Amino acid sequence: MQEYKTKQKEILLDCLKSNKDVHLTAAEISAYLREKGHPLGMSTVYRRLDKLVSTGVVKKYIIDETSSACYQYIENNSICSEHFHLKCSVCGTLIHTDCSLMMKIADHLKTEHGFILDSSRTLLYGTCAECSKNL
């Protein structure tokens, strides 16, 4: 079944592409679109995000049971799983980072312990650089 291109889908996708280096919640996407003069209802945002996730254009991250799911545009439908998540305990910012040391740890866990780490679901808590300035 072919999905038709709609204006709603295109403006939501444009929002995600414009913020491709950031994880956004549905509420943040809705606020961004409203600010840009394209208000969409939350049910429409969720419905469109679900379709984009199912086609592999958008990656959905569920960090924990209390946080809202985050979404990120995946350039050229590439698999975006080889990074780790950092969450600031002060401001709540979610950061993904490609870190060779963390990949070495993941490799060590696999080689030495037979444990395959799911980096897309690995979350490290701490304080981001911006909040660290205020400590």
Q: How far apart are CA 63 and CA 110, in angstroms?
A: 22
Least confident window among 37-41, 64-68, 123-127: 64-68
The more confidently predicted of residues 5 and 8 is 8
At 85, which amino acid appears? H
Report percent pLDDT > 90 for the chain.
41
Question: Is 61 in contact with 85 (CB distance < 8 Å)?
Answer: yes
3-state secondary structure of 118: coil
Average pLDDT over residues 20-42: 90
> What's the pLDDT tens digit per position in 70-92?
888 887 645 555 678 888 888 87
**pLDDT, mean of residues 37-65:** 88
User: Quick one: which of 43, 1, 35 has its CA closest to 15?
Assistant: 35
| pLDDT exceeds cutoff 60 at 2 | no
Alpha helices, DSSP H, located in 19-124 = 26-35, 42-54, 100-113
CATH numbers and ranges of domains, the chain: 1-77 (1.10.10.10), 81-135 (3.30.1490.190)
Q: How much is the average pLDDT of 22-47?
A: 91
Q: Which tokens belong to 31?
A: 């606020």
Residue 51 DSSP SS3: helix
**Residue 24, strand partner residues:** 71
